[in-house]
Structure 1
Amino acid sequence: MKIGTERLLDGGYIAVRSGKIDPRRKTLVFLHGLAGSSSAWDRIAALGFSGFNTILLDLRGHGISHRYQAVDDYRIELIANDVIRVLRELHITQPIFVAHSFGCLIALTCVAQREFTSSKLILLSPGYPRPHSVLATVLDCLLKAAACIIRRTRVERQGGRVNYDKYPKNTDYNPRRMAADIHNTGGLVYLSCIRWALSADMTSLLSQLEGISVLLVHGKRDSVFPIRAAQKIKDRVRQSQLVTIDDGNHVLPLTHPEQLHAIITVFLAEEDFCEGVA
């Protein structure tokens, strides 16, 4: 599905799709999840958001964006820095990040830089990593080793985007969709991103959200990140609200695009938190 104009920005490394950008408007910046690409947003973006610019990015290593060679190239802060440079290049000063799953960590890291005036933040199906847990430590070692093996043996991948219309049964662990995602992105990128996501310091990132209105949307049937992850974020962020979807799973942008569009539209119309404080 064609959404806006396709461009390679940040020196040709990051693939971006957008319509004409009106500098008077705030800009919705859509950040996809692990092993996905900007095509995960096609069904929502096609519905349009009146009064807002819309930008869809392929994060580094995903979609049509550049694939780097090393595990360390996929640290969260490096992926976030790509996004920040793209927004600078497009002269975007008031981004509103709309992020899903892994993309939530990227959005939070971008906001923490305080380079832009972000009045709102939308997090869909967020997780809450525990970087110092025993499980995280064990997985960190295993994933780093596996990613290094893949790096030494892999064949250079050509970029692309998955057509999610081919996978109508989008359960959390739909084997056909997951295989397409991982094959399209590549094992090195997939494992490296998991490794660095496990080390994210959510407590520190959430502490940077003062004055920003935060919308959390979570499916009650999410088996990847149970709803308690979103509830924990809500408990830590005073100016946040949590909307749940009874029959929603983890891949909400694919399974509930119309419902998400309606929820996001209502949130965007609400008064900004910082403006509503007496």
Structure 2
Amino acid sequence: MSQINPEKQWVTFVHGAGGSSSIWFKQIRAFQKHFNVLLLDLRGHGNSNQQIKTAFKQKYTFKSIATDVIEVINHLQIESSHFVGISLGSIIIRQLAEMHPEKVKSMILGGAILKMNFRSQILMRLGNLFKYVLPYLILYKFFAFVIMPKKNHKKSRLLFINEAKKLYQKEFIKWFKLTAEINPILRWFRQVELEIPTLYVMGEEDYMFLPAVREVVKRHVKTAELFVVENCGHVVNVEQPMIFNETVVNYLKEKF
């Protein structure tokens, strides 16, 4: 967390599964010029400590993980914040907004997941078949390559794989079991438009998830906007950080 300026609004960054707060390293300086910045590690990821890991023995749900984030926000006495998420982090932010809309000034959803297409459904089934058999890193590398297949996606793939090495096998399985509830929750998100300004930042090569986002933005006309980054895959903030930073900062400054 950066030095707090009471005159500045807050921006909270939420990483995806297998990542950590370190995936935002190319955003910190650009955002600190204009905002108070909060980086957090989701349970079991990055530097989330051992006490937290052992405290949560129950099944992971999107509600329980969103509650973790809210507890951090409340602990720091942050009344409300803009939330920036990537990949699975976009689902956690949307869940958080359902539960505590008063805490969410806006949602910036990069590489947003709003629908699991046929290929991603097959991936989930394969993962469920092999999650107790194969070392999780083999599965994770396979998933990363399918989601980010091109040569220009290599930096994103390697970053997420290196961060995933910090997970434990049991932790990976807990997170993977979240996929059991993902379809109904995404269906609800597609149907219900919240009264919260939302910017989707998607790579034009994010073939698994961009089509669904385009459809939702057409329907959620009151609050949703879409910015598509050229020559870019799933992890937009890593692959095209300057465009991502400029787009998001300008959006927040113009809206708020």
TM-score by length of 1: 0.72
Counterpart pick for 1:205 among 150, 168, 189: 189
Please report how far the alpha carbon of residue 104 of structure 1 lies from its aligned counterpart in structure 2 after TM superposition: 0.3
Counterpart pick for 2:15 among 32, 36, 39: 32
Please report how far the alpha carbon of residue 269 of structure 1 lies from its aligned counterpart in structure 2 after TM superposition: 1.7
1:21-76, Cα deviation, whole Å (9 max, x unpaired): 34443210000112110000011112234342110011111101143598854321
Matched residues in 2 for 1:266 and 1:191: separation? 38
1:239-260, Cα deviation, whole Å (9 max, x unpaired): 1111111101112121111111
Output aligned runs, 1:154-193, within 5 Å. Answer: 171=153, 176-193=158-175
The letter for the 2-side match of 1:56 is L
**Are 1:221 and 2:205 counterparts?**
yes
Bigger CA drift: 182-191 or 232-241? 182-191
SS in 2 for 1:56: strand
**Are 1:21 and 2:4 counterparts?**
yes
Whose helix proportion is higher, 1 or 2? 2
Output aligned runs, 1:234-273, within 5 Å. Answer: 234-238=217-221, 239-271=223-255
SS in 2 for 1:199: helix
Matched residues in 1 for 2:54 and 2:128: separation? 15
**For the Cα contact (< 8 Å) 1:32–1:59, is it kept in 2?**
yes
Please report how far the alpha carbon of residue 230 of structure 1 lies from its aligned counterpart in structure 2 after TM superposition: 1.8
Matched with 1:101 is: 87
Output aligned runs, 1:59-208, within 5 Å. Answer: 59-66=42-49, 67-68=53-54, 73-114=59-100, 116-130=102-116, 136=121, 139=124, 143=127, 146-147=130-131, 171=153, 176-197=158-179, 199-200=181-182, 201-206=185-190
- Between Structure 1 and Structure 2, how many residues are aligned? 236
Structure 1 residues 69 and 120, CA gap change in structure 2 (3 angstroms): closer
Structure 1 residues 124 and 172, CA gap change in structure 2 (3 angstroms): farther
Matched residues in 2 for 1:63 and 1:231: separation? 32
Please report how far the alpha carbon of residue 130 of structure 1 lies from its aligned counterpart in structure 2 after TM superposition: 4.6
Please report how far the alpha carbon of residue 176 of structure 1 lies from its aligned counterpart in structure 2 after TM superposition: 4.4
**Are 1:230 and 2:216 counterparts?**
no
Matched residues in 2 for 1:175 and 1:271: separation? 33
Structure 1 residues 261 and 78, CA gap change in structure 2 (3 angstroms): same
The letter for the 1-side match of 2:252 is L
Structure 1 residues 76 and 89, CA gap change in structure 2 (3 angstroms): same
Bigger CA drift: 42-51 or 58-67? 42-51
1:119-157, Cα deviation, whole Å (9 max, x unpaired): 3110001112359x89859946x645655568xx99xxx
TM-score by length of 2: 0.78
Aligned sequence identity (%): 22
Bigger CA drift: 198-207 or 109-118? 198-207
Bigger CA drift: 108-117 or 210-219? 108-117
SS in 1 for 2:26: helix
**For the Cα contact (< 8 Å) 2:201–2:227, is it kept in 1?**
yes
- Structure 2 gap segments, 5+ residues each: 137-150
Structure 1 residues 271 and 183, CA gap change in structure 2 (3 angstroms): closer
**For the Cα contact (< 8 Å) 1:61–1:68, is it kept in 2?**
no
- Structure 1 gap segments, 5+ residues each: 1-17, 155-168, 273-278
Matched residues in 2 for 1:257 and 1:265: separation? 12
Bigger CA drift: 228-237 or 84-93? 228-237
1:69-102, Cα deviation, whole Å (9 max, x unpaired): 9885432111111000000001111211100001
Matched residues in 2 for 1:46 and 1:197: separation? 34
**For the Cα contact (< 8 Å) 1:112–1:208, is it kept in 2?**
no
